[in-house]
Amino acid sequence: MNNSYININYTDRTERCLEIAQYIIEEKATVRAAAEKFGLSKSTVHKDVTVILKRKNRILASEVKKVLEQNKMERHIRGGEATRKKYMLEQTGKVQLDLPKKTKDMSISSSPN
């Protein structure tokens, strides 16, 4: 995922919502990642893809909702791995790089050692 900031001056909020929605669906991105990508606050992105998009394109809103729900179910795993990584760094001075990676089908898999 390319984390470079997209500097687009939107005149139409609907257009912005559609682009953010496409990004979230294609990249299986979190609201935080989309906010960083588009240079917006998390609150703005969340409102755009849950409230505004639902009024403009229910089908696309439904697809975004599926991705966001999956991300919500997985966040405890990402948080737990971050804690484990921090603990390893404090204890050993090294970070183990075999953290789970998110796959395109939205399942979690561990990298082999």
Q: In this structure, are residues 20 and 34 in contact, taking their beta carbons and an 8 Å threshold?
A: yes
1 pLDDT higher than 50: no
Q: Render 16-39 in DSSP notation, one character per residue.
A: HHHHHHHHHHHHT--HHHHHHHHT
Q: What is the share, in percent, of the chain residues with pLDDT greater than 90? A: 50
Q: What is the pLDDT of residues 24-61, one digit of tens each?
A: 999 999 999 999 999 999 999 999 999 999 999 999 99
pLDDT, greater one: 90 or 63? 63
Comparing 77 with 53, which gets the higher pLDDT?
53
Could you tell me if 38 and 4 are in contact, meaning their C-beta atoms sit under 8 angstroms apart?
no
pLDDT tier at 113, thresholds 50, 70, 90: very low
The average pLDDT across 63-69 equals: 96
Domain ranges of the chain: 13-98
Whole-prediction pTM value?
0.64
- What does residue 89 show for φ and ψ, rounded to 5 degrees? -65, -45
